[in-house]
Amino acid sequence: MRKLKFIDLFAGLGGFHLALHELGHSCVFASEINEDLRVLYKTNHGISCNGDINVVDVKKEIPKHDIICAGFPCQPFSKAGKQNGLEDENNGNFFDRIMEIANYHNPEYIYLKNVPNLESHDDGNTWQYIYNKLSIKYDVKKQILSPHKFGIPQHRSRIYIVCRLKKKGGLVDFKFPEGEFKGMLSIKSIIEKKPKEYTGIKPSSLNHIKVWQEFLSNLKSEEVPRFRWERFNHFYLCTMLKKKKEFSLQSLTQNTQYIIRKLAA
């Protein structure tokens, strides 16, 4: 297999990095705006991440590469957000930044990832804009995939966009893998009973819990706020009314470890 060089934009914890590194390819540049994630990226992969991609000098700071990897921010397109799309003042311009880098460096491949709603957002106009930009030089294919169809106990559908320069042969022979759900997968089989670096509950959080308990103690049982549990595609999901998206997301985020272990019990 030919050894390639890649750049990892909006790198997060480095999912793209891990996959490509295991295939023998090397990362020559990474960018992640979140400082905590940059620290973890350095710990996990031994490479220092640059910060905000918008302030990076495309010509001087980004070296020559064969692949652009970019799981660009999904908030503008996610159903859980405001869906401002490409017009989002904070995150809407990142695709154009990716194209600026691609147009200057002309990498052979571009790998993109986002939420499935990217495809249908704004009646398909958002995807059409992205496709039109990419297809000037690249052959483009897309597919919605989820880990639970590939032996991983997580239901997380994402749209994956694979591009290759037309002058290099395009994607004539490329096919996305075909996953298949083969029954319930066990979360319990892959998580530890207790995190190795478990630190307990912060005093401030304990105070919040006490106040919340006092509030609950003064309510009748039918008045107590609660999650609504339901089954969906063989997985338990914790959902709330659509009008309460922000509260639902916050609750799930703050209780992720508890919920996962509860489901695995």
CB 171 within 8 A of CB 162: yes
Distance CA 251, CA 243 (A): 14
Q: Which of 27, 69, 74, 163 is catalytic?
A: 74
Q: Is 74 a catalytic residue?
A: yes
Contact between residue 43 and residue 22 where contact means Cβ atoms under 8 Å apart: no
Third-level CATH fold of 5-168: Rossmann fold (3.40.50)
Residues with Cβ within 8 Å of 126's Cβ and at least 6 positions away in sequence, in order, are 77, 85, 86, 118
- Domain boundaries along the sequence of the chain: 5-168, 203-264
Taking the CA atoms of residue 232, residue 238, residue 240 and residue 244 in that order, the dihedral angle to the nearest 10 degrees is -120
pLDDT tens-digit series, residues 195-223 = 666 667 788 888 888 888 887 788 776 66
pLDDT digits (tens, 9 = 90+) for 70-120: 998 765 555 445 555 555 455 547 899 999 999 999 999 999 999 998 888
Residue with tokens 């154009």: 96
pLDDT of residue 242: 45
Task: Name the E strands within the chain.
Answer: 5-9, 26-31, 67-70, 109-114, 138-145, 158-165, 228-232, 235-239
Type of residue numbered 148: H
Model pLDDT for residues 111-167, shown as the tens digit of each residue: 999 999 888 888 888 899 999 999 999 999 999 999 888 888 788 899 999 999 999
Average the pLDDT over 247-255 and give the result.
55
Which pLDDT does position 241 carry in this prediction? 43
Looking at residue 249, its pLDDT comes to 52
> Can you give the pTM of this predicted structure?
0.69
pLDDT digits (tens, 9 = 90+) for 18-72: 999 999 999 999 999 999 999 999 999 999 999 999 999 999 999 999 999 999 8
What confidence tens digit (pLDDT) does each residue in 221-237 have?
Answer: 666 666 554 444 544 44
